[in-house]
Amino acid sequence: MSSQVVPGPAGKAATGIAGDHEPRRPGRPRSEQAEQAIIEAALEVFAESGADGLGIEQVAARAGVGKATIYRRWPGKEELLLDAIGALRTPLPQPQGRSVRADLAALVEALCKEAADPRRARQFALLHGDGLKYPRLLARYNQIVMEPRREVIRSVLRRGVATGELRETTDVDAAMFLLSGAVLAWSGPTREQSGPRYARRVVEELLRGLAAR
């Protein structure tokens, strides 16, 4: 049986499917796939060119979509990057709760592994470098990515104070920033080959001053 073709405007054949104003090409990504491709492309272009160098046309070409597809979801590049920053959030290891020393070493090791990723390091540097020009981006990064991680470290330190592993007078915020700063120092040009060994050294040195006597 042959299928019926309904003549469309200007003599063109139409399928007769209601609401299908923009026929899809074969292999065109679905909405969720397209959005994921756009987010990934935005992060790639940002890592290469920074916020100033990022253009919607570049992102569209990298993602394999039209510019209109991006503009239907985001009014501009800053709004796109604000959403893309959420994709940088990756979970830290769940503290085991048996030893503050072991939990802190595992957290520092995980942060060092991430800092060893050149693209993530570049994104971090660009976000902080562009912080004055794009304060919403930096605020979003701190809120979505950095602060939850800091709170995981704080929770381990607070637990150590509560269990008597650490001194009652421990400055939790200062200790947390010392650990975070050690990760930044490790990710520089003097980086060692062994992240686990470095993580243990950092935690051991910190606990020399914080451990309960």
Q: Please report the pLDDT score of residue 154 as a whole number.
A: 97
Mean pLDDT of 153-175: 96
User: What was the pLDDT predicted at 190?
Assistant: 53
The amino acid that residue 40 corresponds to is E
Cα distance between residue 19 and residue 111, in whole Å = 49
With 80 as the cut, is the pLDDT of residue 14 above it?
no
Q: Which fold has domain 93-210?
A: Tetracycline Repressor; domain 2 (1.10.357)
Per-residue pLDDT at 93 exceeds 80:
yes
Enter the pTM of the model. 0.75
Domain residue extents for the chain? 26-87, 93-210
Strand partners, 166: 211
Average pLDDT over residues 90-114: 92
**What would be the CATH architecture of the domain defined by 26-87?**
Orthogonal Bundle (1.10)
Higher per-residue confidence, 99 vs 28: 99
Q: One fold for both 26-87 and 93-210?
A: no
